Structure 1
Amino acid sequence: MGRRRTFDRDTVLMAAANAFRMHGYRDISIAALEKATGLVSGSIYNAFGDKAGLFRAALERYVHGFVAERIRHFAGGEATLDDLEGLFLSVLEPPLADGFGCLVTNSIVEFGREDSPARESIDATMALLRDAFSDVLTRELGAEVAAGAMMQLLTLYHGILTLSRSGLPMDELARSVRLTFAQLRTQRTTPPSSLNPESPSPERTTT
């Protein structure tokens, strides 16, 4: 018997996630996934079952790796409104500013409310964002203001990720982000803690 070909799972899943991000789940072919991942179709089916299995695994890796790491970087611990603003501005910079948006947001648009291979990861992303936004807003604006502001930010976050695919100038979308956070800062109930040298700058981006 021949030896089974091995591959780096994380590398394959992130390559697949990027391919799905660019083309969508329904429109991408197995041939295109072979080219993106470097795997032959037999290896894809052996490792992931089918295209849906590869998509599910790639999206899960994208959420719990790429997305979760960005949230920890910009909205973890003692993050401030300034730090959280950095998260929003960073989605208008590379690697997400390439005109293809975010795999999670694209999946929300593609699948809507239907039961799909994306459902679990979409729900996980919503939970991560809600918790992160709520923590920062409660700390800086108080619990009463935080609930409404959290939904405002959740809408803005996915809105700019969607509109970043429309061809609108990124600086116009960034201006909307800065205006929203400037308004939120006027409602601060505690002094900003961004003097903490460990806090990331609002202009800092991460890949």
Structure 2
Amino acid sequence: MGRTRTFNSDAVLGAAGNLFRQRGYRDVSIADLEKATGLVSGSIYNAFGDKAGLFKAALQHYVHWFVRQRLTAFAGPDATLDDLEKLFLSVLEEPLSDGYGCLVTNSIVEFGNAEGIASEGIAQTLGMVRDAIDGVLRRELGPKASDAATMHLIVLYHGILTLSRSRTSFDAMAQMVRTEFDRLKNLRIRATSPRIKPL
């Protein structure tokens, strides 16, 4: 009869995910994971199979408990452009402002478009981000204006998450976000203003 798990799964997956976020998949060893999670290697192998299994579980945990919750909070069904702007600015605040970026974005950089252990989490996140941004833009700007603007904001969002790992000024990136959302808010005003009929 197998032994039941006696560890807190959320705490273990959170700790492992944070370590992978900081150092990447390839540079993390089982010994590093033991230290970060408090589990011995046997428990890691029994619960997750191997390092790849733990990474996949930690990435799914991150997508569900961090990415999804942020998108719901800032870009849910009633969100406005002002709320969406806060999502972008929040990337430059704690906990993402620690210089290690986002586990999903880092995985895109590390693994590229090859099919593998990060593919599912990356695809889920890209889809959720696209749908959340597009939903806000369709409500605020109308369907005609939303397609190009959605892709523009997706690139901006993941670009900020990538550059947050560099020495790029957070203040400069925040100013760029504000400028872009000022432009979108002007489009919103024009989209909702009644048209003046020519005399």
Identity of aligned residues (%): 63
Other-structure match for 2:38: 38
Once superposed, which parts of structure 1, at least 4 consecutive aligned residues long, lie more than 6 Å away? Answer: none
Partner deviation per Cα, 1:116-153 (whole Å, 9 max, x = no partner): 21000100001111110011000011101100000000
Match of 1:190 among 172, 189, 192: 192
Please name the residue that 1:54 is paired with: 54
Show the 5 A alignment for 1:105-184. Answer: 105-184=105-184
Compute the displacement of 1:186 (Å). 1.2
Distance 1:186 1:53, change over 3 A: same
Give how far 1:30 is off.
0.8
Structure 2 residue aligned with 1:86? 86
Q: CA deviation at 1:190?
A: 3.3
Structure 2: runs of 5 or more not aligned: 194-199
Mean Cα deviation higher: 178-187 or 3-12:
3-12
Aligned residue in 2 for 1:204: none
Question: Take 2:2 and 2:47, find their aligned partners in 1: how far apart are those partners?
Answer: 17
Distance 1:190 1:47 in 2: 54
Structure with the higher helix share, 1 or 2: 2
Once the two structures are superposed, the pairs formed by residues 20-35 of structure 1 within 5 Å of their partners are: 20-35=20-35
CA RMSD of aligned residues (A): 1.4
Q: Distance in 2 between matches of 1:177 and 1:50?
A: 40
1:186 partner SS = helix
Equivalent residue number for residue 68 of structure 1? 68
Where does residue 97 of structure 2 map in the other structure? 97
CA distance in structure 2 between the partners assigned to 1:80 and 1:4 by the alignment: 46
Find the counterpart in structure 2 of residue 14 from structure 1: 14
Deviation at 1:59, TM superposition (A): 0.2
Bigger radius of gyration, 1 or 2?
2
SS state of the match for residue 100, structure 1? Answer: coil
More contact order relative to length (CA 8 Å, sep ≥ 6) = 1
Q: 1:33 to 1:146 in 2, by over 3 A?
A: same
Match of 2:187, SS state, is coil
The separation in 1 between residues aligned to 2:151 and 2:157, in whole angstroms, is 10
Q: Measure, in 1, the Cα distance between the counterparts of 2:169 and 2:38.
A: 34
Distance in 2 separating the partners of 1:135 and 1:143: 9
Query: TM-score, length-normalised on structure 1?
Result: 0.89
For residues 2 and 123 of structure 2, the distance between their equivalents in structure 1, rounded to whole angstroms, comes to: 41
Stretch of structure 1 that moved more, 35-44 or 2-11: 2-11
Aligned residue pair count: 191
**CA-CA distance at 1:170 after TM superposition:** 0.9
Separation of aligned partners in 1, 2:7 and 2:31: 18
